[in-house]
Structures are given as C-alpha cells and as structure tokens.
Amino acid sequence: MKEEFNIVLAGVGGQGTLLAAEVIGAAAVKDGLNVRVSEIHGMAQRGGVVVSNVRIGEGVLASTVLDGQANVLLGFEPLETLRNLRSASEKTLVIMNADRIPPTELAANNVKYPSLEEVLAKIHLFTRKVVVVEAAELAMKAGSRLAQNSVLLGALAAVEEFPVKADSLVEALRELVPKKHVEVNVKAFELGRESARKEGNRV
C-alpha cells in the first residue's frame, strides 16, 4: 500500500493498549506492510496515561502521528479519547470504548466525570464519524473483562479502509496473548468486529 494509514491508541495503564499496538504491528508485518509503532507517551503502570501510535504505509519513516493526521483514534477510555482529539480531523474515525475509568485527579479536585453525551458532543466538534463500543460488556460475554483490548481490535478490523487483514490480527493475537487467555481474546475480537459492523453503534 502506498497511502499511509495512521492509528492513535489512547487509554490508561492496565487496559492492554500497548499489547493492542503490538498486535497491530505484528499483523501488519505478516501482511508484508511497512509499519512503525511508537514508543509509549505517558506512564504504562495501572491508571497512568498510555498513548501509542501505529503508522502503516510504504513511505512511513517516523512513528509519530502528527496532529489531525489520524485515520482512526482508538479510544480505550472516553476521557483519554478526548485528551487525544488533537490527532483527529473531520476525516478521522473515532472508535471509543464506553467503559469509564475516572482518573484520580477528578475525585481529588472534586470534578465530575463528563457524561457520555458530553464526551460525544466534544468529539463531534472534530468529527462526526464515531463508533461507540460496549467493550466491557462484550469482553465479559467472551469470558473476561480483561479482553476489552481485543474487543477494540475487532472493532478496528471492521473498518473497511484498515489495511491489515483480520486473519493476521487473530494470528498475532494467538502469538502474543498468553496461551491460557487466547480463546477468550479471539472470541472478544470477533464480538468486537461484529458489534462495530452494526449501524446502531455509529453516533
């Protein structure tokens, strides 16, 4: 592929954001694509902010997605999705997990976590292309709440323009996820892909 495809993954530590970026990178390599995966921005410990960039395309050299240049903003948590809207434009598709993890500074400063409607209103200032995924619910259906990252990977795989094959993502998942959790994560992936394909999730 000659055109580049840029993905920004934003979440908090403990959500599997980095593993998801690694899976995308490994799957892209399997498909013979040139790919760059960024270093971590922020802290990867549980509760800390985690942002990863994945860039795919023949001419891609740097790993960082410039402001407004993301094809997909994959938000693992609503507030972290908002914090990374600088990477979005009207062309960006936002895939966002509806499950909220309120940061400690909100409680410390007595600040209310915004409602999903408020979050969506702010996202709509950048793009109207938003898919909300009930990742926690689907992960539990697959067998473990910890598989939310695989649900979101499945939702990403449902994007028509995404250049990486779904089969390659599943293959990379099987290689990178601990063996005892593989089947749950593969099931979560399929549930996420199925959910994202439903028009009712586009808001």
pLDDT score of 2 more than 80: no
Output the pTM of the full model. 0.93
Give the domain extent around 150: 5-201
Per-residue H/E/C for the chain: CCCCEEEEEEEEECCCHHHHHHHHHHHHHHCCCCEEECCCEECCCECCEEEEEEEECCCCCCCCCCCCCCCEEEECCHHHHHHCHHHCCCCCEEEEECCCCCCHHHHHCCCCCCCHHHHHHHHCCCCCCEEEECHHHHHHHHCCHHHHHHHHHHHHHCCCCCCCCHHHHHHHHHHHCCHHHHHHHHHHHHHHHHHHHCHHHEC
**Percentage of the chain with pLDDT > 90?**
76
pLDDT digits 0-9 by tens, 10-67: 998 889 999 999 999 999 999 999 999 986 655 545 567 889 999 999 989 888 999 9
Number of domains in the chain: 1
pLDDT score of 185 more than 90: yes
The angle subtended at Cα 163 by Cα 40 and Cα 181, nearest 5°, is 60
pLDDT score of 196 more than 70: yes
Neighbour count for residue 17 (Cβ, 10 Å): 27
Beta bridge partners of 53: 8
- Mean of the pLDDT values across residues 154-179? 97
**Strands 5-12 and 72-75: what pairing?**
parallel
pLDDT digits 0-9 by tens, 89-141: 999 999 999 999 887 766 667 788 899 999 999 999 999 999 999 999 999 99
CATH number at residue 195: 3.40.920.10
Sign of dihedral through CA atoms 91, 81, 152, 22? positive
Using alpha carbons, select from 144, 147, 130 the residue that is nearest to residue 192: 147
